[in-house]
Structure 1
């Protein structure tokens, strides 16, 4: 789908004439973005316009804490029908006392009550063992509690898993009965992708799928059925290889062909 505007080069060098070279196979959704980040303050509306004009029908913005949960809801309210909100506490933001976590998650759950039209999921939640600032115990406590919120609310979850696959899977299998969701920015093996599918869950891939050393990731993507596969940008992170090193945005997913 071509852009209707004259070629325009915005922040980070995105040209509408570039986008004309790509064609979407169907209406597209960026299943995971963070357009509330400060890096979009100067051109957030233009970023969304480029996505619309390229054929995107929705962007799902994912929170990382209580404050950003409110921000993704506001984005959804300001862009009704195009932006949607996923609210929750990221594992690297879960370092707090049990009492503080209870208060925070009560506020997050209240947002689900107050904004049922905007909130479409709980996340991103999970475990992250790459960063060491938050204890594994704190992360697991927040993870389990948010799986319970998702169960009560009958909402899907967005899973963040970094260098923590066995424990993430164990928590889901032990505490995730009745919950379904997506493994965001999947970075695992073929076998791990199959385990996710066996759970009845979805698997989402980002721009790192295009990196030269990511053949294992491409192999994993190749086994995921199209009806269980999602595409995301994780904007502003993980720009695909042609845009690597630049700020990512939804329209850049046109540079991420999925192996079939």
Structure 2
């Protein structure tokens, strides 16, 4: 310990968690935001009076408090600032209508889209119903994985009617300034309202590990949570896009700003 009075003292999970909390809040070297913490073995070897079980429980406690995040196969880290996902501002025409990305509204260092996939698929039944597409008819799928600081933070799959995408940049991996909504607007179908449904849940194995050649979020298997967001974009009364998003709940903060009267 870096406090001489603690030498020779055996720690409980509570007292060791308090010491780690103090270091994080004081930004002691090695405990700054984003810093990787020692392993359990290193804590036992280098911290006076700390057993493996004590260190493990202390880390679990600080993780539950939101001070620490664990990345499967990588270790535990002091939590960096969460990504604020601010709605409805991020979806405003003032954003995409001026050639800006939705993600750029969220933070100065926004997540970047990687592993972009575009192609025709038969959508899930509830997506087809929302889009007004007959059962079995194909729609355009746009899949993205979002990364921030080399960490996967979001998986997103958007579905759009092919009659609105054929021959447009929506069918390209790079949809151009303002993204998909700007391209829809050029056809007279710019979104005029949105509905988002949000739940929190445990991640599926595919979301953790990936599947069919896609990378997953790399979350820890026990205790990890995701936000599942289903967004419906409407141009007037017509649903023009359904987007299914899975966000690492340890990486995001959902912020909603709206008037008292609507």
Q: If the length of structure 2 is used for normalisation, what is the TM-score?
A: 0.24
Quick check: which one's strand share is greater?
2
Quick check: which one's helix share is greater?
1
Q: If the length of structure 1 is used for normalisation, what is the TM-score?
A: 0.25
